[in-house]
A = this chain, B = another copy of it.
Amino acid sequence: MFSKSCEYGIRAVIYIVSASKNGERVGIGEICQNIDAPEHFTAKILQILTRNRIVSSQKGVHGGFYLDDYQKGLALIEVVTAIDGKTLFTGCGLGLKQCSETNPCPIHSKFKSIRNDIKKMLEQTTIEELGNSIKKGKSVLKTLKI
């Protein structure tokens, strides 16, 4: 469904929101320990997200990553499109060069419906909402014991 990059990116932003109480910044080391992701690789993904103003960052002592109030309210689809692009929402399920209403592939109508459900779900889910779920202990960002 999502690329590894995207999975790490989503988990990272959720962790940041869940961990940064009152504007505190979270370092890449702490993030990656808590989401069980490779550090340097995830750092690059967070670079993409900061360039796209989906997360904020601060260099130097007491620096790290955080989300401002506007960013917390962003929907998950912003994270996904920044990392994986829009192919999941616009591309043909059978890999035709373009999804077309006039020359559809055989699964077009069924696939389109699912594609739209995914899009809706990602549009309706905010980063903050998922962060709260983690804060309350209702969900996790890494498998506990191996």
Contacts and interface: CB of A to CB of B under 8 A. Distances in A.
Query: Looking at A7, A11, A106, A110, which has the most chain B CB atoms within 10 Å of its CB?
Result: A106
B1 A139 contact: no
Contact of A98 (B114, B125, B130, B143): B143
Contacts of A4: 95
Q: Contact residue range for chain A? A: 35 or more
Q: How many copies does the complex hold?
A: 2
Interface string A104-127: 111110110010011001000100
Interface of A: 1-2, 4, 7-8, 10-11, 14, 76, 88, 93-98, 100, 103-108, 110-111, 114, 117-118, 121, 125, 130-131, 133-134, 139-144, 146
13 contacts: A2-B93, A2-B95, A7-B94, A10-B94, A11-B94, A11-B95, A100-B143, A105-B140, A106-B130, A106-B133, A108-B139, A114-B118, A114-B121
